[in-house]
Amino acid sequence: MDPKDVSYNWLSSGGAYILIFSIWFLSALFFAIMAFGIGREKQSSGDGCLLMISTTVFVGIGGAIGLMLLRSFFPWFIFSSAIGAIVAPMLVVRTFKHGKRRY
């Protein structure tokens, strides 16, 4: 067995999905804390809660899109899923902070 193959064994035996779950969880936690801070800054806990829910949902959506884009390329779907799980909630926060909300 080639040493290169041994280094990928833990990824191919389920380690990739543990890594993806960890990235999604940490991303959701980070953006929830960020949304809480933005809600407190705007002095509106309702908007902060809505932003927390939105970023958590978009972590899953962006991560799933990244996962599906490169699903047939073994180690690269981890990176595309991580990028999707980080970029999608960033867009939600950016839209929330710079958008014109009318009630």
Interval 22-55: pLDDT, tens: 999 999 999 999 999 988 888 888 888 999 999 9
For position 3, what pLDDT does the model report? Answer: 57
Confidence of residue 86 (pLDDT cuts 50, 70, 90): very high
Q: Give the pTM.
A: 0.82
- Separation CA 97–CA 86 (nearest Å): 17
The pLDDT value recorded for residue 5 is 61
Distances in whole angstroms, Cα of residue 49 to Cα of each of 10, 79, 103: 38, 29, 17
Rounded to 5°, the CA angle 34-103-54 comes to 30
Gyration radius (Cα) of the chain, Å: 17
From residue 88, give the alpha-carbon distance in Å to each of 6, 40, 59, 98, 103. 34, 22, 6, 16, 25
Residue 97 pLDDT class (50, 70, 90 cuts): confident
